[in-house]
């Protein structure tokens, strides 16, 4: 085979029709009274760009133009020309699309697995004193913004505390945290029926939840669930993870105050995954059973919480809440925004699946 081309010497505009010979590793051009032979490694071959002629450029400024694209590809193969992989990739929209997809996947994987893994490592090595300081800070903020003093009579508090100590004591106690488990009593009309565990293991019980329960065993069932979150350090992970996300966002936004603001939100609004909820439920179920109580108690409480959350949702819908202003620094993440605090069930998604699993555990 041979290939037609036009040769220009780079000095004159004269076109010399030539033929390219299929000789390995060599560019051999022959025309009327003209012959040129150059090693393939000493010429530059232009990339394919639409229907533009392909150029073979020589070091002395001469070049040959080829318009027969299909023939040129055959000739390139015959002489043993290899396109650089980067040229091939640059041409390929598929490769470009794929690499964008890979970046997106890497970011997603990093967020989904990298961050929790990092949070887990950090929280596993976090000194107790730091955990306690963080917990104090969170409690201070909650006390300042959403908590009120409990109105439960002292003897009622005493009774619940003793039952809780008996439940938590044997299996839990000082085995998992550096301080004895402690139950704190607060009220919060805003939060409604709720209980939450601080990262250092203290558990806050709200009057509204006490009042919602039919009996103390149901309250203990919820506290057992919170002990599960403490046992597996779920909320510490959430706090570290929330702080990490806020730190990254703050770095982008350039405002580090949001790191502090996000701390209580991380505890309150951490949407524990279904897997973590199930882990806490399973812990509660076995704790209850070891004390001669049925996991059914927690299932009952979940149903009551769900019903109460649905009522609150209806109430909430009737009140118009102004949307928080994002552009106003002071308004950002201000705990006074009515829709800032989420009810128990959005932080502890109660599904029929959880209730069913608890009834099976019983």
CB nearer to Zn ion: pick between 18 and 350 = 350
Nearest by Cα to 194 from 311, 354, 347, 314? 347
Per CB under 5 A, 63 contacts Zn ion: no
Yes or no: say if 342 and 265 are a contact pair by the CB < 8 Å rule.
no
CB nearer to Zn ion: pick between 54 and 229 = 229
Site string for Zn ion, 280-299 (x = CB under 5 A): x-------------------
A 10 A CB-CB count for 257 gives 13
Q: Which residue is nearest to Zn ion (CB)?
A: 348
Task: Give how many residues touch Zn ion by CB under 5 A.
Answer: 2
Residue appearing with tokens 């919170």: 226
Residue appearing with tokens 């039919």: 214
CB nearer to Zn ion: pick between 280 and 285 = 280
CB nearer to Zn ion: pick between 233 and 348 = 348
Measured between alpha carbons, how far is 205 from 186 in angstroms, rounded to an integer? 6
Yes or no: say if 319 and 337 are a contact pair by the CB < 8 Å rule.
no
Tell me the closest approach of the beta carbon of residue 349 to Zn ion, in angstroms: 8
Residue appearing with tokens 């203990």: 220
Yes or no: say if 15 and 6 are a contact pair by the CB < 8 Å rule.
yes
- Which span (58-66, 139-147, 313-321, 347-355) binds Zn ion, by CB under 5 A? 347-355
CB nearer to Zn ion: pick between 222 and 250 = 222
CB nearer to Zn ion: pick between 43 and 167 = 167
CB nearer to Zn ion: pick between 257 and 273 = 273
Looking at the chain, how many residues does it have?
A: 362
- Binding Zn ion by CB under 5 A: which of 141, 348, 357, 358? 348
Tell me the closest approach of the beta carbon of residue 196 to Zn ion, in angstroms: 9
Tell me the closest approach of the beta carbon of residue 229 to Zn ion, in angstroms: 6
Instruction: Please state, in angstroms and as integers, the Cα–Cα distance from residue 9 to each residue in 76, 206, 266, following that order.
Output: 22, 91, 73
Measured between alpha carbons, how far is 264 from 133 in angstroms, rounded to an integer? 13
CB nearer to Zn ion: pick between 54 and 348 = 348
- Which span (40-48, 54-62, 213-221, 345-353) binds Zn ion, by CB under 5 A? 345-353
Task: Map the footprint of Zn ion across residues 221-280, applying CB under 5 A.
Answer: 280
The DSSP annotation for 293-348 comes to --THHHHHHHHHHHHHHHHHHHHHHHS--PPPPSS-TTTTT-TTSTTTSPPHHHHS
- Which span (38-46, 74-82, 235-243, 342-350) binds Zn ion, by CB under 5 A? 342-350
Tell me the closest approach of the beta carbon of residue 343 to Zn ion, in angstroms: 13
Yes or no: say if 343 and 314 are a contact pair by the CB < 8 Å rule.
no
Tell me the closest approach of the beta carbon of residue 280 to Zn ion, in angstroms: 5
Residues near Zn ion (CB under 5 A): 280, 348
């Amino acid at each position: 085979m041979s290939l037609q081309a036009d040769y220009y010497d780079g000095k004159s505009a004269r076109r010399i029709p030539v033929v390219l010979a299929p000789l390995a590793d060599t560019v051999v051009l022959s025309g009327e009274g003209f012959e040129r032979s150059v090693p393939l490694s000493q010429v530059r071959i232009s990339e394919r760009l639409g229907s533009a002629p392909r150029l073979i450029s020589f070091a002395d400024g001469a070049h040959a133009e080829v318009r027969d694209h299909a023939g040129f590809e055959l000739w390139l193969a015959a002489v043993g020309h290899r396109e650089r992989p980067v040229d091939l990739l640059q041409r390929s929209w598929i490769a470009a699309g794929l690499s964008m997809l890979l970046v997106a996947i890497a970011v997603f994987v990093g967020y989904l697995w990298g961050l929790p893994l990092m949070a887990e490592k950090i929280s596993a090595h976090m000194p107790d004193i730091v955990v306690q300081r963080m917990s104090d800070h969170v409690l201070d903020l909650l006390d300042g913004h959403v908590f009120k003093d409990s109105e439960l009579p002292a003897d009622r508090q005493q009774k619940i505390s003793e039952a809780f100590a008996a439940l938590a004591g044997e299996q839990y106690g000082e085995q998992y945290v550096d301080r004895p488990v402690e139950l704190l009593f607060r009220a919060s009309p805003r939060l409604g029926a709720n209980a939450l565990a601080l990262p250092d293991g203290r558990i806050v019980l709200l009057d509204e939840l006490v009042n919602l329960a039919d009996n103390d065993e149901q309250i203990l069932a919820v506290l057992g669930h919170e002990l599960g979150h403490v046992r597996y350090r779920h909320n510490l992970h959430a706090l570290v993870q929330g702080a990490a996300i806020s730190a990254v966002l703050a770095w982008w936004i350039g405002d580090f105050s949001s790191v502090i603001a996000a701390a209580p939100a991380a505890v309150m609004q951490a949407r524990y995954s279904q897997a973590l909820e199930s882990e806490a439920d399973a812990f509660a179920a076995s704790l209850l059973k070891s004390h001669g109580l049925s996991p059914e108690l927690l299932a009952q409480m979940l149903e009551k919480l769900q019903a109460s959350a649905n009522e609150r949702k209806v109430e909430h819908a009737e009140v118009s809440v102004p949307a928080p202003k994002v552009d106003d620094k002071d308004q950002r993440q201000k705990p006074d925004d009515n829709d800032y605090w989420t009810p128990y069930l959005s932080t502890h998604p109660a599904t029929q699946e959880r209730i069913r699993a608890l009834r099976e555990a019983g």
